[in-house]
Amino acid sequence: MIAIYVRISSHTQKTDSQKAEITQWLKSHGHLLKKVVWFEDRERGRNLDRPKFKELQSLIFQGKIKTVVVWKLDRLARNLREGVNVLADWCNRNVRIVSTTQQIDLSGPVGHLIASLLFGVAEMELHHTRERQAAGIKIAKRKGVYTGRKVGTLKANPARAIALRNKGLTDREIASALGVGKSTVYRYLVVAKEK
């Protein structure tokens, strides 16, 4: 069975371009779309604690997945150690990993080497992005353009988070509805319980 894994980092992004390119790759390589299972996460790649990724891992461990196709390897992980460990584990289980954008088919020792180099580049890129963001904020603060969020203001309405929880929504669903992270939802709900 072929598994497709797509991931976006925020709720405002879409997976359409990833899906289109992967679908094109599947068709050009003669794979039937009905024999493909899609896994989609809307989480940052900083850690592997993502629901659909865990589901994919479980199926790989059970021996049900023999090929994993991604748009880019950094969709799996942005951390070098985690990314290399995942790929090494999958390759040891004889799982073929394909990155359509990077035109890489990871199987065998050369594939492992290429994967580790690409994850290293992805981790450097993330580090540089954070540095540029911090430098931009510092300059904006000096110019008086960026003042950050005003003291006492909130990212969203905590009462709405509580109302959504009372309707039976999960933290993830509440975060998506409010456009905030799960940690923010958690803080709102913990504060509400303490009151």
Per-residue pLDDT tens over the stretch 72-93: 888 888 676 777 778 878 877 8
**pLDDT per residue over 36-58, tens digit each?**
999 999 877 667 888 999 999 99
pTM of the model: 0.59
Supply the mean pLDDT for the chain. Answer: 82
How many domains does the structure of the chain reveal? 2
Instruction: Please report whether residue 128 resides in a domain.
Output: no
Listing DSSP states for 144-187 in one string gives TS---SPTT--SS-HHHHHHHHHTT--HHHHHHHHTS-HHHHHH
pLDDT at 160: 86
CB neighbour class for 143 (10 Å; exposed up to 12, middle 13-18, buried from 19): exposed
In a domain, 137, yes or no: no
> How would you classify the pairing of strands 96-99 and 36-42?
unpaired
| Residues 25 and 115 grouped into a single domain | yes
Range of the domain at 190: 158-194
Contact 35, 24 (CB under 8 A): no
Residues 28 and 84 in one domain: yes
175 band by pLDDT with thresholds 50, 70 and 90:
confident
Q: What is the reported pLDDT for 117? A: 77
Query: Measuring CA to CA, which residue among 25, 24, 5 is closest to residue 15?
Result: 5
| pLDDT of 39 | 94
**Are residues 117 and 162 located together in one domain of the fold?**
no
Measured in whole angstroms, the distance separating CA 72 from the mean position of its chain's CA atoms is: 11
Taking the CB of residue 7, how many other CB atoms lie within 10 A of it? 25
**What CATH number is given to the structural domain containing 70?**
3.40.50.1390
Tell me the angle at which helices 80-92 and 109-143 cross, rounded to the nearest 10 degrees: 160
User: Of 121, 143, 178, at which residue does a domain stop?
Assistant: 121
Residues 95 and 11 in one domain: yes
Domain contains 149: no
Residues 8 and 85 reside in one and the same domain: yes
Q: Residue 112 — pLDDT band, cuts 50, 70, 90?
A: low
Residue 144 lies in a domain: no
